[in-house]
Amino acid sequence: MINLELPKKLQMAQQMSHQVAATVFRPIARKYDKIEHCDTPEELIPLGQMIKGMGGDGKKPESQSGGRASDAVNNGANMMQVLTTAEMSWGCIGLMLSIPGLGLGNAAIQAVGTPQQKERFGGLHCAMAITEPGCGSDSAAVKTSAVLDGDEWVLNGEKIFATSASRGDAVVVWATLDKSKGKAAIKSFVVERGTPGMEIVRCEDKMGLRVSDTAAIVFTDCRIPKDNILGSAEIADTAEARKKAFGGVMQTFDNTRPPVAAMAYGVARAALEITKELLQKEGIEFRYEKSIYNSTAIQAEVYRMEAELEAARLLILKAAWMADNKQPNSKQASMCKAKAGRVGNQITLKCVELCGSLGYGEELLLEKFARDSKILDIFEGTQQIQQLIIARNVLGKSSSELK
């Protein structure tokens, strides 16, 4: 029997996150949308300290099931993350991504780090640097190199579009140990802020998420301790072992795609709620007992958007639930990211259209929500890449067989 009710513990976290979104994010969202390349918003500093004090500093527990048997149904850290992310994104995605102490790099540490590394780096605010000039969706094409020299790794290369890299305590960098060995040689490294040889060369001007910094980084003979490599430094020597090794690296995306999908869900829900309120003020009623075929064009449009949004929500919950229950969720993570990323952008744009001048102007946040939503269909894997991953899973094809 499927139970779609959330446990009380998760409901409380969801409600607290919504309160933060409503009372902290929404009132200052427009202010920081107009201030790009600022320092961490001062209003977020006590919020980051509070989250860290509550244990939300990136140290993700193995399970929050209260010690139940391994075959029990668990709703743990992954479910908590997508629920709270969706609620805070209802307020402002850019501000949520700017909270001190939280970063996408923390997901990589939890995915492939050793217990000691999770303890050592889990409390840091870690950005993640994967994308390079000429290397976007194809993560296996990473050119940034890491060479072991005594007790240190030496990094050389360039990274772009690294979220929170200029504000974070550290950056998780993807680099190759040996370009000739292909994707099996790609590893993750933690480079702490202030390390000689790592330079933030610019912060990007962007269409959306303007308060969230997006930086380009250059590594020039950047030396880091030998134990700053996440997981093992060994390069697999068989085809099966190479596939497994890169699969461990790619598990990072299985952890981060559902929260990104939750961001898309949250901002689309926010836009749809505002739109419905405006339409109701104009005398348009929403009567769900009537068939969609007996509704006006505007009513039918809203009903379809609500249905698409609910489908995205259920896919997100399934992907998170599978992660909490130690089930492989690569296909489901891509499905929820593809669905939510696409419909999130479609819904926010349609809401701008339905609300006319109010939607397009700055009196409301609708046009901001539309701008913010576009990146959610791009980063953490584009719509096209998600569909390719899903197709490989459904058809049982490898990356070499289906490109």
Q: Which residues are marked as active site?
A: 380
Query: What single-letter DSSP state applies at residue 98?
Result: T
State how far the Cα of 375 lies from the Cα of 340, in Å rounded to an integer: 12
> Of the candidates 359, 341, 370, 146, which has an alpha carbon nearest to the alpha carbon of residue 258?
341
- Residues 390, 395, 397, 402, CA torsion sign: negative
- Residue listed under structure tokens 């249905």: 307
The whole-angstrom separation of Cα 89 and Cα 11 is: 16
Rounded distance, CA 390 to CA 399, Å? 11
- Give CA angle at 221 (191, 225), nearest 5°: 40
Residue in the structure block whose two tokens are 């190479």: 242
From CA 383, how far away is CA 260, in angstroms rounded?
12
> Could you tell me what percentage of the chain is helix, strand and coil, using 3-state DSSP and rounding each to the nearest 5?
55, 15, 35
* Nearest CA-CA partner of 189 in 224, 214, 159: 224
